[in-house]
Amino acid sequence: MTGASSDFESYFHVNASVLLGINLPSNEFCEASATISAIAGDILHLKMVPDTIPALLPAEAGAHMIVKTSDAWCICRSECELVTPPVEMNIQVRLKGPLNIQQRREYFREDVLLPVLWSIPADQQLAVVRSEWEGGRLQARSDMQPVMVPCRQGFKVIHWRKRLSIKPIRINLSGSGVSIPTEQSLVPGTLVNLHLFLPLNPPRVIMAVGVVIRSFEVHKSNGKSFQMTALHFEFLEERDRETIISYLFMEQRSLLRQKADERADEEFPPEEPEEVE
């Protein structure tokens, strides 16, 4: 695809996360994460994730880079050049094209009811959070499997790590990220620890780290509102990603079967039994 400004604005959106790749003067290749703060034609204004800024400090204006989106139904990749080196946490890049668009099955989304635990790490350094996530996964291997039992909304977790009960909540889940209700608005770029409980046989707990894409307010029909926060999976084992995708396709098939059965019942209602004389 060509690199017209209209094309850029169709795929690069304000508050979306991007991944930057750059060849440094030392011939080293580094990657850095950022959030789009504005887009004007072919110029992206980016706010860097704090602990990735040092990697870009040796870069000079005009340096060749690659930028990739990570919050759409597809992966969009474009060549670009650095316009302004980092000033505080901000940089500007000029998109050059061409746009490389790749559809991915991991972006298939579904609204589901699942037990979820989330927390914000006190130390937001990417390396520290990754180390804690890896340590938590090792500990989870020695933990007992979560016990999930039916409840009115679906399935809940009982007696897991001293918690009596973890009830399901409605979330929007894909292999690339999740949107969850949160008590407050979270700042884009914030790292969040996640535990997702899947009612499989046996039940599975998925441990991941998400980065906040955006928080937004949802208004209900009764006049009430609540916060939802969209997160992109920053750290997630590939086998866990595949488990999530398989679970979502299974849920979709189950929903389609249920709707087909309901239509069949409407078209062919059960006959009343004849009276026996």
The per-residue pLDDT for range 58-105, each reduced to its tens digit, is 677 888 888 987 554 567 888 999 898 778 788 899 998 888 876 556
Same fold flag, 5-103 and 107-259? no
CATH superfamily for 5-103 is: Electron Transport, Fmn-binding Protein; Chain A (2.30.110.10)
User: pLDDT tens for residues 193-211?
Assistant: 999 999 999 999 999 999 9
pTM: 0.59
Q: Which CATH number does 107-259 carry?
A: 2.40.10
What's the CA gap between 146 and 118, in Å, rounded?
Answer: 16
For the chain, strand residue ranges (E) read 17-23, 29-40, 43-48, 64-69, 74-87, 90-95, 100-103, 110-119, 147-151, 154-160, 163-166, 168-173, 177-182, 191-198, 204-219, 225-235
What's the CA gap between 143 and 102, in Å, rounded?
Answer: 38
Show me where the domains of the chain are located. 5-103, 107-259
